[in-house]
Chains A and B, each alone.
Chain A
Amino acid sequence: MNSLPHSARALPAAPGRRRRLVLGHRASRGVYAAVWSLPLALWQTLFFVLPLGFLLVLTFWVVQNYRLQPDFSLVNWIDVLGGASFWKTYFRTVALALGSALVATVIAFPCAYALAFTVSPAVRRLGVLLLVTPFFTSYLVRVYSWMSILSDHGALNAVLKSLGVGAISVLNSAAGTLVGYLTLCLPLAILIQLMSLANVDRSLIEAAHNLRCPRWRTVFSVIIPSARVGIVVAAVFTFILSFGDFVSPTYLGGGNPPTLSILITDFTKSGQQWPRAAVVAITMIVTLLAAVSLALGFAYRGRGVR
Chain B
Amino acid sequence: MSSTQKLARASLWFYVLLVYGFVFAPILASFVFSLNADRFPTLPLAGLSFEWYREILNDPGVWTAFGNSVKVALVSGSVATFLGFGAAYTDYRFNFVGKKVYLALALLPPTVPLVIFGLAMLAFLSRVSLAGYLHSVMISHIVLCTPFAMALIRIRLAQMDPALEEAAWNLGASRWRAMASVVLPFAAPAVISAWCLTMAVSFDEFAIAWFVSGLNETVPVVVLQTLQGTVSPRINAIGSLVFSLSILLVVIAQVVYMRSGRQARTAQ
The docked-state distance in angstroms from the alpha carbon of A134 to that of B250 is 12
Residue A107 CB within 8 A of the other chain: yes
A contacts with B, residue count (CB < 8 A)? 80
The docked-state distance in angstroms from the alpha carbon of A284 to that of B118 is 14
A198 CB to nearest chain B CB (Å): 16
- For residue B124, which residues in chain A have a CB less than 8 angstroms away from its CB? 47, 50-51, 54-55
- For residue B142, which residues in chain A have a CB less than 8 angstroms away from its CB? 43, 47
Taking a contact as CB atoms under 8 Å apart, the answer to whether B30 and A144 are in contact is: yes
The docked-state distance in angstroms from the alpha carbon of A265 to that of B116 is 9
Taking a contact as CB atoms under 8 Å apart, the answer to whether B106 and A284 are in contact is: no
Taking a contact as CB atoms under 8 Å apart, the answer to whether A155 and B29 are in contact is: yes
The docked-state distance in angstroms from the alpha carbon of A39 to that of B88 is 12
From A11-19, A75-83, A145-153, A165-173, the one touching the partner chain is A145-153
Residue A187 CB within 8 A of the other chain: yes
Partner of B242, one of A141, A190, A261, A285: A141
The docked-state distance in angstroms from the alpha carbon of A70 to that of B152 is 41
Residue B223 CB within 8 A of the other chain: yes
The docked-state distance in angstroms from the alpha carbon of A45 to that of B227 is 35
Taking a contact as CB atoms under 8 Å apart, the answer to whether B220 and A155 are in contact is: no
Taking a contact as CB atoms under 8 Å apart, the answer to whether B113 and A41 are in contact is: no
The docked-state distance in angstroms from the alpha carbon of A26 to that of B239 is 53
Residue A64 CB within 8 A of the other chain: no
Give residues of chain B (80-103) contacting chain A, Cβ–Cβ below 8 Å. Answer: 82-87, 89-90, 93-94, 102
A139 and B119 in contact, given A37-B86, A261-B113 (Cβ under 8 angstroms)? no
Residue B114 CB within 8 A of the other chain: yes
- For residue A55, which residues in chain B have a CB less than 8 angstroms away from its CB? 116, 119-120, 123-124
A47 and B114 in contact, given A110-B12, A144-B30, A148-B41 (Cβ under 8 angstroms)? no
A264 and B223 in contact, given A2-B171, A43-B142, A44-B105 (Cβ under 8 angstroms)? no
Residue A203 CB within 8 A of the other chain: no
- For residue A278, which residues in chain B have a CB less than 8 angstroms away from its CB? 119, 123
Q: What are 14 contact pairs spanning A and B, CB under 8 A?
A: A32-B179, A36-B93, A37-B94, A40-B150, A47-B142, A58-B123, A107-B19, A141-B235, A144-B235, A145-B27, A154-B42, A158-B44, A278-B119, A278-B123
Q: Which residues of A approach B to under 8 Å, CB–CB?
A: 1-2, 28-29, 32-33, 35-37, 39-41, 43-45, 47-52, 54-55, 58, 107-108, 110-111, 113-115, 118, 130-134, 136-146, 148-149, 151, 153-155, 158-159, 182-183, 186-187, 190, 215, 240, 243-247, 251, 261, 264-265, 268, 274, 277-278, 281, 284-285, 288
